[in-house]
Every structure is written in structure tokens, then in C-alpha cells.
């Protein structure tokens, strides 16, 4: 990889303190909490540092006093890494500390704090992730900005129409934020061709596809697998919602277990903890009665712990109705786990690219058929090897970083690549 034209990059995104801790050379407890839920951001930051960039990270953290300024910390491991944790109001709707909930003014205070931190750091280019408060703040800074959109704002809002009124309204207000960002963004990337189509008509710029990257260390830990006698299946979900669609998957597992009593299902994520919403549903659903002892509810776990648990399992069942990318699919494939996922679930078919793995996830019978098909020993071994190959050729960190470096140069303009006089 040639020396990058961009030497100092601003990275404005949701990043958790615990995900940054290894890069910072600090224990997680020494860092603010940050913005949890997107561990893939730390993977990309590491790749950019390895490519020779100086990286200033800008994120939000609700555990900081709102009247204080940003907490700025330098890495003891990477001299080019500095992280700016900007205070964030702790509540979306209800007031706190004499301030309204953050959605009521469309994150105005948070955007101002991020924008001020970016202006002080003076990066050449800012890479902002998700088309909401982080991208809006980056655009307001006046510094050339590349926006990466990781979801379809309209689709997310529509899928939450029947949720609690506060959740539904929150999502529609987020659509207003995304409209402002997409109207202004001149350099836009998306994580899949599905996202290109989803943003058609909303974005000013033509989106360029740059997929998410998988950790090189995770690929190194993976292996090509053979079908074990006791098949231990993982289901990883961010909630017990209609969009995540766990109920048909649970019914399909119960059906398959009647033919294969050695099967186990391990469930991870919010509302999949012991005594959580998912377990309560299983207990009161007659069709699940014969499978209860094979269900293991683990709940939410830190990402690295979750990856270690996933590494010890055999197959990923991913019943989500829609994914703009589906990072957990790539992580499972990298580890050598075959997957069963939705044939019509947004970007899922593009990521998986294995017809045997795909099914109608709205239909528990079709999910059960796919589990049976993928569990066949020859198919299982073939899909394990194919998944590993796909991840290394399509979602490797070096290739993703190279693609982003090109977008940064384009954001700087044609003079950025010209030789000095």
C-alpha cells in the first residue's frame, strides 16, 4: 500500500471505550464509556492506523458531565491516535440537568460539541459513520467529509411503526436528521448494494459500496470445520423485536430437535438473558415445550467475549428480516461457522452468497428445512470452507482500508494527489 495522501483523519462515529481500550493501551475502566454497539468501528480505526494515518476519533459519551468539555486522551500504543469523548445527554426524551431530551432538538448540543472538537483538532478529512448526529456534526465543521451510511433510515422507521409510540416517533425524527445529512453529503459510501438501492432518491451523492471489514485476528482464529455429532447453534440478536424475528427461528429449532435430540441453541443479546422476554415466550409457547432444556440464554456480552463463545459453537442461525450488512454473519463465516439466514433479508444474500444457507425466515418450516440441509455433513464442510474463503477475499481489512483511502483523496479534491511543485 502506497503512502496515503491523507495524513490526519478525523473519525466521527459511535465508538465504545471498551472497544478502544486495546488500541489506547489502557484498561477499559480508564476510558469514558463512549457510544456502545458498533465494535466494527475499532476494527476500522486499527486498519487506518496500520496504514500510516494519524487518527483523531470523535465520539459521544453519556457518562460525562454535560457542562464539562470533551475528554481528550492519547494512546500509549499508537502515537497517532487521539480520542475525543464529547458529553452526551443521557436521555432521548425526558429532561435531565435542566436540558431537554436529546431527540427533541435533534441532538443539537451533541452536534455542537462534536463540531467544536473537530474544528479544534483540524483533520484534513473527516470520516463520519451513520447518517445522523455524527455525520451532521462533521458536515457542519466545514472540513471535507466522507459519510458512510450503515442503515436505511426510512426502512428502520417503518419497521418500528408498531413499536411503542416514543420509539416510533424517535425513529421518524431520526429520518429528518438523515435527510439533512444525505442532502448535504458530497461523498457518500454504503456497506452493501442493498443500501445503494435503499438510499436511491434520498442522497445527493451517488453512493459507493465499501463493505464492513472483519478483524484479521478473528480470521486467524477461524478454521474449516466438520459437522460435529452434537450441533450447537448460535442465535445473536439485538432485541426481541419484529425486525429481528426470533420467534420463527425458535419454532424451527424445536421442530428440528425432534429429529436431532442432541442439538442445542445458544441465544445472545438483549432480551435473551435468563428470565428475559425470549425465555418467557418459550415457556408459555406449547410448541417449545420439548426443546426448553436445549435452550441456553446468555444475554448481552462484550464483543470479544461474544466472539469467543461463537468460536466454540458450530452454526449461526440469523433470522433477521432485514440487514443493511449483517456484521455477525461475516464474523461467523470468518470463524468457519456455516450460517442459516434470510433469502430476502436485505443485504444478507449478498454477504452470504451460498444458496444452501438461505431460506424464508418468516416461515419456521423453511428455516427447519435449511437447518436440516446445512447440517448434512458434506454440505456443512463445504459451506465452512466457502465462508472462510469469501470473508478473506471480500471483507478483509486491508482491502476495505484501501477503498476508504481512495474516498478520502476524492473528498480532498483533484489537487490532493498532485505532486508538490
Q: How far apart are CA 162 and CA 112, in angstroms?
A: 32
pLDDT > 70? residue 2: no
| Residue 163 pLDDT grade (very low, low, confident, very high; cuts 50, 70, 90) | confident
Alpha carbon of residue 268 to chain centroid: 15
Higher pLDDT pick, 417 / 24: 24
Q: How does pLDDT run across 93-119, given as a tens digit for each residue?
A: 999 888 999 999 999 999 999 999 999
Looking at residue 248, what is its pLDDT? 97
pLDDT > 50? residue 334: yes
pLDDT > 70? residue 3: no
Q: How far apart are CA 389 and CA 251, in angstroms?
A: 31
Closest of 246, 349, 217 to residue 254, by C-alpha: 246
Q: What percent of the chain has pLDDT over 90?
A: 87
- Distances, alpha carbon 101 to alpha carbons 89, 105, 127, in Å: 7, 8, 27
DSSP state string for 309-364: HHHTSSEEEE--S-BSS-HHHHHHHHHT--EEEETTSBTHHHHH--GGGEE-TT-H
**Under 8 Å between Cβ of 41 and 17:** no
Q: How far apart are CA 216 and CA 117, in angstroms?
A: 31
Domain pair 8-213+396-417 / 216-394, same fold: yes
Q: Look at 145-154, 324-333, 351-360, 407-416 and tell me which has the smallest mean pLDDT.
A: 407-416
| Residue 420 pLDDT grade (very low, low, confident, very high; cuts 50, 70, 90) | very low
pLDDT > 60? residue 415: no
C-alpha grid cell, residue 44: 476500522
Segment 118-138 mean pLDDT = 97
Segment 117-144 mean pLDDT = 97
**Under 8 Å between Cβ of 74 and 82:** yes
Looking at residue 419, what is its pLDDT? 38
Looking at residue 416, what is its pLDDT? 45
- 151 phi and psi angles, rounded to 5 deg: -150, 170
Closest of 362, 363, 368, 343 to residue 353, by C-alpha: 343
Q: How far apart are CA 125 and CA 7, in angstroms?
A: 9
Rounded to the nearest integer, the mean pLDDT of the chain is: 94
Alpha carbon of residue 135 to chain centroid: 16
Looking at residue 417, what is its pLDDT? 41
Looking at the domain that runs over 216-394, which CATH code has it been given?
3.40.50.2000
| Residue 211 pLDDT grade (very low, low, confident, very high; cuts 50, 70, 90) | very high
Looking at residue 1, what is its pLDDT? 54
How many alpha carbons lie under 13 Å from residue 342 in its C-beta half-sphere? 23
Looking at residue 28, what is its pLDDT? 87
C-alpha grid cell, residue 82: 487521539
CA end-to-end span of the chain, whole Å? 24
Domain ranges within the chain, ordered by starting residue: 8-213+396-417, 216-394
Looking at residue 418, what is its pLDDT? 38
Residue ranges with strand state E in 114-191 = 125-129, 145-149, 188-190
- Could you identify the residue written with the cell 465504545? 16
Give the residues across from 71 on adjacent strands: 85
pLDDT > 80? residue 421: no
Contacts of 287 (CB under 8 A, 6+ apart): 251, 254, 255
| Residue 288 pLDDT grade (very low, low, confident, very high; cuts 50, 70, 90) | very high
Looking at residue 351, what is its pLDDT? 97
**Under 8 Å between Cβ of 34 and 84:** no
- State the helix-helix crossing angle for 277-284 and 246-259, rounded to 10 degrees: 50
pLDDT > 60? residue 4: yes
pLDDT > 80? residue 17: yes
Q: How far apart are CA 338 and CA 314, in angstroms?
A: 8
Q: How does pLDDT run across 41-58, given as a tens digit for each residue?
A: 999 999 999 999 999 999
CATH superfamily placement of domain 8-213+396-417: Glycogen Phosphorylase B; (3.40.50.2000)
Looking at residue 243, what is its pLDDT? 82
Closest of 263, 257, 278, 255 to residue 365, by C-alpha: 255
Amino acid at each position: 500500500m502506497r503512502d496515503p495522501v491523507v495524513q490526519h483523519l478525523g473519525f466521527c462515529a459511535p465508538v465504545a471505550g471498551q472497544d478502544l481500550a486495546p488500541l489506547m493501551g489502557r484498561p477499559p475502566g480508564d476510558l469514558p464509556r463512549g457510544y456502545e454497539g458498533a465494535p466494527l468501528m475499532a476494527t476500522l480505526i486499527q486498519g487506518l492506523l496500520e496504514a500510516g494515518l494519524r487518527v483523531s476519533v470523535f465520539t459521544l459519551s453519556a457518562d460525562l458531565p454535560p457542562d464539562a468539555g470533551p475528554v481528550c486522551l492519547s494512546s500509549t500504543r499508537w502515537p497517532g491516535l487521539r480520542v475525543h469523548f464529547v458529553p452526551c445527554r443521557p436521555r432521548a426524551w425526558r429532561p435531565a440537568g435542566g436540558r431537554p431530551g436529546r431527540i427533541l432538538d435533534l441532538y443539537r448540543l451533541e452536534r455542537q460539541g462534536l463540531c467544536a472538537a473537530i474544528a479544534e483538532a483540524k483533520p484534513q478529512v473527516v470520516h463520519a459513520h451513520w447518517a445522523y448526529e455524527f455525520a451532521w456534526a462533521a458536515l457542519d465543521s466545514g472540513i471535507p467529509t466522507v459519510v458512510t451510511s450503515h442503515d436505511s433510515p426510512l426502512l428502520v422507521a417503518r419497521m418500528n411503526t408498531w413499536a411503542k409510540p416514543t420509539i416510533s416517533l424517535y425513529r421518524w425524527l431520526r429520518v429528518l436528521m438523515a435527510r439533512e445529512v444525505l442532502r448535504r453529503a458530497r461523498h457518500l459510501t454504503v456497506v452493501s448494494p442493498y443500501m445503494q438501492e435503499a438510499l436511491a432518491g434520498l442522497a445527493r451523492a451517488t453512493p459507493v459500496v465499501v463493505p464492513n471489514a472483519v478483524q484479521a485476528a478473528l480470521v486467524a482464529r477461524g478454521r474449516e470445520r466438520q459437522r460435529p455429532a452434537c450441533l450447537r447453534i448460535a442465535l445473536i440478536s439485538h432485541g426481541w423485536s419484529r425486525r429481528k424475528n426470533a420467534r420463527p427461528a425458535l419454532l424451527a429449532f424445536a421442530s428440528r430437535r425432534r429429529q436431532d435430540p442432541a442439538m442445542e441453541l445458544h441465544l445472545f443479546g438483549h432480551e435473551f438473558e435468563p428470565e428475559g422476554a425470549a425465555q418467557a415466550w418459550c415457556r408459555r409457547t406449547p410448541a417449545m415445550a420439548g426443546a426448553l432444556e436445549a435452550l441456553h440464554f446468555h444475554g448481552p456480552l462484550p464483543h470479544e467475549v461474544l466472539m469467543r463463545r461463537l468460536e466454540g459453537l458450530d452454526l449461526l442461525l440469523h433470522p433477521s428480516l432485514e440487514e443493511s450488512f449483517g456484521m455477525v454473519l461475516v464474523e461467523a463465516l470468518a470463524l468457519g461457522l456455516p450460517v442459516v439466514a434470510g433469502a430476502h433479508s436485505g443485504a444478507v444474500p449478498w454477504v452470504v452468497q451460498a444458496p444452501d444457507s438461505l431460506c424464508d425466515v418468516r416461515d419456521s418450516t423453511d428455516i427447519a428445512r435449511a437447518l436440516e440441509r446445512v447440517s448434512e455433513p458434506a454440505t456443512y464442510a463445504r459451506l465452512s470452507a466457502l465462508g472462510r474463503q469469501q470473508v478473506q477475499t471480500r471483507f478483509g481489512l486491508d482491502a476495505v482500508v484501501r477503498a476508504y483511502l481512495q474516498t478520502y483523496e476524492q473528498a480532498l479534491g483533484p489537487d490532493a494527489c498532485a505532486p508538490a511543485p
